[in-house]
Amino acid sequence: MNDELIKALFTESIQTQISAVESLTDEMATTVELLVANLLNGQRVFCCGDRTTGVIAQHFSNLMTDGMKLERPPFPVLALNAGKQKQLAALGQASDILLVIADNQENEELTAIMETAISRDMLIIALTGEGNDSVSGLLGANDIELRVPSLNPARILETQLFIVHGLCEQIENTIFPQEH
């Protein structure tokens, strides 16, 4: 019986990844283009999450400053910590990017941070899960949503981590093609 439950976990994770590849490929490519253009133009990326997704935001920031696969100069990417909204209000500028990583649960703090980004004329990239309409509802026409096709928080987090790794690799590949 335990073997069947374990197989079911892997199967659900694989199915979520397959669904994500079918629904998110174009959005990921657009996201990479946007992030590369932003970074090459000297703009910054701020990232944040809630609960567990905050760890993914911090991981993204670390990969972008330390390097994913390459030893390279750091990119100006900052994970927002305690007092996230005030940090963004103090540092965010027009054309900077806010990367919001949220699961499928509503979170007033994240929506307040997004409202701050909107008021500062920043672009927003949102990594979400199915059912997070509070984050999706704040996105404008130029913003991007990478919505993981799942309601299961564990599958959403797994896929968001994969997306973050994919974004970092593609950004490095684009900016430093000679290294690959």
Give the CATH number, domain containing residue 91: 3.40.50.10490
Residue 6 lies in a domain: yes
Residue 150 DSSP SS3:
coil
Residue with the bigger pLDDT between 127 and 70: it is 127
Domains: count for the chain: 1
Does 36 have pLDDT greater than 80?
Answer: yes
Residue 14 lies in a domain: yes
Mean pLDDT of 11-36: 95
Rounded to the nearest integer, the mean pLDDT of the chain is 93
If 0-12 CB within 10 Å is exposed, 13-18 middle and 19+ buried, where does residue 14 land? exposed
Residue 79 lies in a domain: yes
Does 159 have pLDDT greater than 60?
Answer: yes
Q: How confident is the model at residue 50 (pLDDT cuts 50, 70, 90)?
A: confident
Would you say the C-alpha torsion 124, 64, 20, 101 has a positive or negative sign? negative
Residue 13 DSSP SS3:
helix
Sheet containing 45-49: give its strands across.
Answer: 77-79, 45-49, 97-101, 123-129, 144-148
Residue 180 lies in a domain: no
Residue 65 lies in a domain: yes
Q: How confident is the model at residue 7 (pLDDT cuts 50, 70, 90)?
A: very high
Does 1 have pLDDT greater than 70?
Answer: no
Mean pLDDT of 132-145: 93
Q: Please give the residue range of the domain that contains residue 131.
A: 2-175
pTM assigned to the model: 0.93
Gap between the Cα atoms of 163 and 2, Å rounded: 30
Does 180 have pLDDT greater than 60?
Answer: no
Residue 126 DSSP SS3:
strand
pLDDT tens digit sequence for 78-134? 999 878 899 999 999 999 999 999 987 778 889 999 999 999 999 999 999 998 888
Residue 86 lies in a domain: yes
pLDDT at position 20, please? 94
